Amino acid sequence: MNRESAVSRATELVEQMTVEEMASQLRFDAPAIERLGIPEYNWWNEGLHGVARAGTATMFPQAIGLGASFDEELLREIGEVIATEARAKYNEAVKDGDRDIYKGLTIWSPNVNLFRDPRWGRGHETYGEDPCLISRLGVAFIKGLQGDGEYLKTAACAKHFAVHSGPENMRHSFDARASLKEMWETYLPAFEACVLEAEVESVMGAYNRTNGEPCCAHSYLMEEVLRGKWNFKGHYVSDCWAIRDFHENHNVTKRPEESVKLALEKGCDLNCGCTYQKILSAYEEGILPLEHMKRAAVRVFTTRFLLGMFDETEYDSIPYEKVECREHLELASRAAKESIVLLKNDGILPLDKEKIKTIGVIGPNADSRAALIGNYHGTSSRYITVLEGIQDYVGEDVRILYSKGSHLHLDREEALARPDDRLSEAKAVARHSDLVVLCLGLDETLEGEEGDAGNSYASGDKSDLKLPQSQIRLLETIAETGVPFIVCMMAGSAMDLNFADERASAILQVWYPGARGGKDVADILFGRVSPSGKLPITLYRDLEGMPAFTDYSMKGRTYRFLEKEPLYPFGYGLTYADVDITKLEAEDVKYHALGEDGLRVKAEVVNRSGIATQEVVQVYVHIKDSINEVPHPRLAAFQRIALEPGAKRTVEIVIPKMAFEVVNEDGERCFEGTGADIYAGFGQPDQRTMELTGKEGKKWLLVD
């Protein structure tokens, strides 16, 4: 169904509603209107990395891990699977009259906020710190969710609009200040791509204010940019209970009726929360025009018609057997393998089980289901922890010794025991092992959303980059044994890996790899698959010199504005193979003659090893002689490729015209400067990446 037809049908339906009925449909838990044949509908559903909070579903790696894949096609396929399972579950639920929360077709994902500061607890819900990476993966994911059929398969939602990335404990009252240059250079590009390229059906506003106005009633963001510049046609939904913040925390209004009036006036069509229960009061007072209410109702019913909720659709026959089917589980496994980043390897990896008698598996995340799943997750019919994955891989051939080693964050495991009550066991396991796999990190109880179910005691943000003290003591203890050890860091953000970098034989950044991710970790450890993930964030050495968490300027943050050397750079990740770019060529065109199609470059890639692997060719651009260019070369395009042993191939990548534009102080994109440096490699063209990889990549100068 096209939008014009859906709008027409929505308008006709809304015209038949009473004011009371119309008002009721602007709540996330919209009741039935039986006389018009409208069933109840709960708009709130989640699908960040699998259908969430409604029972069994395929669980993919957390979003930050998907970001590490640098794989657009993978994200599109994952979106398709989530939509398929959402439809399958929806089809069965409505048969039983079950229209509860988390069972609808409006998926409030993806989170395309930029991971600005490593302290932010919700950063693991994002695809990372780079506008290009987030944009490309977000667009692909949305296209997968929404499909290309006659109707929307599901309706995706780009969130949280905009300039939103912590602190969590201040989000209900915080005012994020950002210049127009920073907004259009950093905070808005992903949303722009989601609206203009992916035609995302909904956008969710953030809790905070931006430059003085609440994001769910923002003149510039919602009216001038979203509906104006971008001509957004879908519906706008508030974050949950964000409109209540207008009068309770932001103090931009004095009471709920004024908040309702402001939100609807600016174009917030749907309220996740309870403030829109005051719509009728505002209307009866005369401060809320009927036209604002009607406009919102038409928009939300347009989405319901586009989803085919009042028709027969091609998705009605999707069977329940699609939920967590073998094909979907295989895709989750592929995603986990592509997400794992090899940060260090002194040659210990891949492990050869024929040469090992005993492996010690140690750490609070070694046998933790919570460390597999991140937040906003569904339920798996089976979980495979790292310990279980290793045990399953080696079978009876290798003895596995296990110790938890420490509590995740408390100073002891047993309440009546002395502090560090598992350390002596961990030392014993290490002494009796040929090597140790040490699984450290966090889970959703230590980093996540403010007030989230698993994190209700804290804001979810981190105060620093350090592991909990219990794990620091465990790490130091294992290092002191002298036994070779491999660190598996299971966390969704940048952690302090300085000590591990000095003492560990290898480091894997595992993220939260999904319900059965332990099997995929084992496949990487033992070389069944070569690691190929790339860091979607910078792993800093420390926070020294970084601006305050509440400072939204980009100075000193992320690889584009970094002022000191990182421990591990954005875009970095090793493989077991020896792959290099031997040649870089661009089409014959002058800098100022670039067309709207951008620039095609060709990179010749060779695998000199006897190991099959995947790699990510990354292209960076830096405009010459422009005062508006960011300090460092920025990601402009990327492509994941597969290489057989000894293979050579030429990869063609298109750098979009926008990548050659810079943003001035007025927030305007400009084509300026005297030319562009173009770099192609398997990471950034920075000194640290070259030190870590031993490879320089290739450079091309585009001038007139």
How far is Cα 392 from Cα 373, in angstroms, rounded to an integer? 20
Q: Tokens for 690?
A: 């070259």
Instruction: Look up residue 508 and give its DSSP letter.
Output: E
pLDDT reading at 537 higher than 90? yes
- Over range 616-635, report the average pLDDT: 98
pLDDT band at 544 (very low <50, low <70, confident <90, very high): very high
Q: What pTM value is reported for the model?
A: 0.98
User: What tokens were used for 600?
Assistant: 């095609």
Q: Going by DSSP bridges, is the β-strand pair 209-210/41-42 parallel, antiparallel, or unpaired?
A: unpaired
- Strand residue runs (E) in 289-430: 341-345, 358-362, 399-403
pLDDT at 455 over 50: no
pLDDT tens figures, 483-502: 999 999 999 999 999 999 99
Matching residue, tokens 């592509």 = 338
- Residue 513 clears pLDDT 90, i.e. is over it: yes
**Percent of the chain whose predicted confidence (pLDDT) is above 90:** 98
Strand order in the sheet with 157-161: 157-161, 202-205, 235-237
pLDDT at 550: 97
Mean pLDDT of 401-424: 97
Report the range of poorest mean pLDDT among 9-13, 62-66, 284-288, 453-457. 453-457
Of residues 259 and 696, more confidently modeled: 259
Quick one: pLDDT at residue 458?
A: 55
pLDDT per position as a tens digit, 53-83: 999 999 999 999 999 999 999 999 999 999 9
Q: Determine the length of the chain.
A: 704
Residue 139 has pLDDT above 60, yes or no: yes
Residues forming the active site: 239
Tell me the sheet residues that pair with 361.
Answer: 402, 437
* Contact predicate 362/425, CB 8 Å: no
For 326, residues 6+ apart whose C-beta sits below 8 A from its C-beta are none
Task: For residue 450, name the pLDDT band (cuts at 50, 70, 90).
Answer: confident
Amino acid, res. 282? A
Domains defined along the chain, listed by start: 3-321 (3.20.20.300), 336-561 (3.40.50.1700), 579-703 (2.60.40.10)
Q: What is the mean pLDDT of residues 536-556?
A: 96
The torsion of the CA quartet 564, 568, 571, 572, rounded to 10 degrees, works out to: 140
Quote the CA–CA distance of 320 and 89 in Å, as a whole number. Answer: 6
Residue 699 has pLDDT above 50, yes or no: yes
Phi, psi of 33 (to 5 degrees): -120, 90
The confidence band for 456, taking pLDDT boundaries of 50, 70 and 90, is very low
Report the amino acid identity of residue 178.
Answer: A
Q: What is the dihedral of CA 515, 529, 620, 553, to 10 degrees?
A: 30
DSSP bridge partners of 604: 583, 650
Per-chain mean pLDDT for the chain = 97
CA distance 144 to 76: 4
What pLDDT does residue 452 have?
A: 60
> What is the percent of the chain where pLDDT is above 70?
99
pLDDT band at 457 (very low <50, low <70, confident <90, very high): very low
Per residue in 388-410, pLDDT (tens digit) is 999 999 999 999 999 999 999 99
- Residue listed under structure tokens 């601006």: 547
Signed CA dihedral, 65, 70, 73, 75: sign only: positive
Residue that the structure tokens 């990446």 belong to: 689
